[in-house]
Amino acid sequence: MVTAKVWVLKKHFEGFPKISNFDLKEIELPNLKDGELLLQSVFLSVDPYMRPYSRRDMKEGDVMIGTQVARIVESKNPAFTVGVFVVARSGWRTHFISDGKDLQALPSSWPESLPRSLALGTIGMPGLTAYFGLLEVCKTKPGETVLVNAAAGAVGSVVGQLAKIWGCKVVGCAGSDDKVAYLKKIGFDEAFNYKTVTSLDEALRKASPDGYDCFFDNVGGEFASVAINQMKKYGRIAVCGAISQYNDTVPQKGPYVQIPMIFKELRMEGFLVTSWNNRWEEGLKALLKWVMEGKVKCHEQVTEGFENMPAAFIGMLKGENLGKAVVKV
């Protein structure tokens, strides 16, 4: 008999999530039936989407939604061998039982030397979000100028590096000087701290006086309102996230977008990476290759201890992480 620890949503978030919204519980797992396997979480992911999706997909008392890299510790399913690592979508749990259907093997070419936690970040959902967002939504072309915000985050840092690989000029914004230094280190052409600039409008104009062809938006809100006025004719805006709005209790307002949309003939497209579920293998293969070649660098903010999951989640929403925020069990 195995005891799993789980984090449940005790009370729906109102505004910014608090530690008191969560409850740590213990669950006795039953013995395995034929076809089942027991898994132990090794790394768990905390991601912005959990904030809006908690309201849509969960009720109070449910185990928090989420993804992990897990190790198979016991198997009554001949298709799965003990010791193998997989990506699962089993929520905030230390242990869980699966019939194997929703498990995703790490790419077969995954090198031993590479941290498996990257399967939750650059070589996982966030990396794929950057890949398909730039390739299929922005339809970025060589020579174009790409703007990305939350640029030192799990998605943004990959967006900038892929845009560089694809021959673009890249401008990134982040919320601390350390993050800005990191962006310059990984090859961003221009980077600035949006919290300390006198005027975001001026900082964006200075970084690219001719404007922007593509804007990969992870933030929404006021940032997006300023950026839209600096798009070039036929510019594309990939709306990936709106982290500045997820904790609003009353929806924020900003200037209507229609006039710049019309007169600059802009395209704005919201997207979820799940729309390319049938192309994940292609994306993961490309990302793994670039990481191994050193063309895409990865940084992770690792929080130790399952008991710190709510703190890691809240810290990530506050922008305390550089790169991908993960929790090591």
Concatenating the DSSP letter of every residue in 50-74 gives: HHHHHHHH--TTSBPP--EEEEEEE
Provide the minimum distance between the beta carbon of 265 and a second copy in the complex, in angstroms, as a whole number.
5
Considering the complex, state which of residue 52 and residue 319 has its C-beta at the smaller distance from a second copy: 52
Binding site for a second copy (CB under 8 A): 52, 56, 217, 220-221, 224-225, 239-242, 245, 251-272, 275
Q: Report the C-alpha gap between 11 and 64 in whole angstroms.
A: 11
Considering the complex, state which of residue 40 and residue 245 has its C-beta at the smaller distance from a second copy: 245
User: Per DSSP, what are the bridge partners of residue 270?
Assistant: 239
Provide the minimum distance between the beta carbon of 319 and a second copy in the complex, in angstroms, as a whole number.
17
- 263 alpha-carbon distance from chain centroid: 32
Provide the minimum distance between the beta carbon of 202 and a second copy in the complex, in angstroms, as a whole number.
19
Provide the minimum distance between the beta carbon of 227 and a second copy in the complex, in angstroms, as a whole number.
12
Considering the complex, state which of residue 104 and residue 245 has its C-beta at the smaller distance from a second copy: 245
Considering the complex, state which of residue 249 and residue 258 has its C-beta at the smaller distance from a second copy: 258
Q: Report the C-alpha gap between 315 and 18 in whole angstroms.
A: 10
Identify which of 120, 135, 143, 129 has the alpha carbon closest to the alpha carbon of residue 321.
120
Buried-state track 237-259, b at ≥16 Cβ within 10 A, e below 16: bbbbbbbbbbeeeeeeeeeeeee
Q: Report the C-alpha gap between 77 and 35 in whole angstroms.
A: 4
Provide the minimum distance between the beta carbon of 234 and a second copy in the complex, in angstroms, as a whole number.
8
Identify which of 234, 223, 224, 220 has the alpha carbon closest to the alpha carbon of residue 266.
234
Provide the minimum distance between the beta carbon of 105 and a second copy in the complex, in angstroms, as a whole number.
28
106: which DSSP letter?
P
Question: Which pairing describes strands 145-148 and 212-217: parallel, antiparallel, or unpaired?
Answer: parallel
Provide the minimum distance between the beta carbon of 30 and a second copy in the complex, in angstroms, as a whole number.
36
Amino acid at 294: G
